[in-house]
Amino acid sequence: MSHYHFLLPIVSILSMGAGSPFEDTASLDRKVASYLGAEVGDVGGAHAAIDSKLKLKRCANAIEISETNRNALQVSCRDLGWRIFVPLRLGRDLGSLEDNAPEEPLVQRNQPVTLVIRRSNFSISYGVIAQKSGAMGEYIPVRSDRKSKELMARISGPGEVEMTN
């Protein structure tokens, strides 16, 4: 019976409703969507939701959101020193394109471009050389140097190509 005497204070402390010591990633997604004015997955919004498995310590002060010189936002907590990068979904809304409007090349042959490999939880950027000219949405061959294997990538913006699944 004496072991119940010690169990009662522990149960009462746990039931007080102490919040999670970690940031709610769904709340971070809402803050990013509000900052960008576009929902997750929409053009101009975050490419994907922030991974809910991330265990970011709860920030005592306001979360900071800032733009980077890449295609991502930086979400950070200055007090605790953590930061994450949220890749953005770039491009134009395909519904807004005119059928008869010819596309101007966004990438020229032999132009250095950034190859972006996007996955749901991260993105990797790498410098490559375009082997052909192309317009938005077209697939062109790229390679990192003359001896490397040629890869096919889709043009996703001026000076940027991406690998798709």
Which pLDDT score is estimated for 165? 57
Select from 47, 63, 65, 56 the least CA-distant residue to 24.
56
Q: pLDDT tens track of the chain, all 165 residues?
A: 555 555 545 544 444 445 789 999 999 999 999 998 889 888 888 888 888 888 999 999 899 998 876 677 889 998 999 988 888 887 654 444 444 455 678 899 999 999 998 887 788 899 999 999 988 888 899 999 888 999 988 888 888 999 865
Select from 63, 59, 81, 62 the least CA-distant residue to 73.
63
Domain architecture of the chain: domains with CATH: 20-87 (no CATH), 97-163 (2.30.30.760)
Which pLDDT score is estimated for 91? 67
* Whether pTM exceeds 0.75: no
Which pLDDT score is estimated for 132? 92
Three-class HEC string of the chain: CHHHHHHHHHHHHHCCCCCCCECCHHHHHHHHHHHHCCCCCCCCCECCCCCCCCCCECCCCCCEEEECCCCEEEEEECCCCEEEEEEECCCCCHHHCCCCCCCCCCECCCCEEEEEEECCCCEEEEEEEECCCECCCCEEEEECCCCCCCEEEEEEECCEEEECC
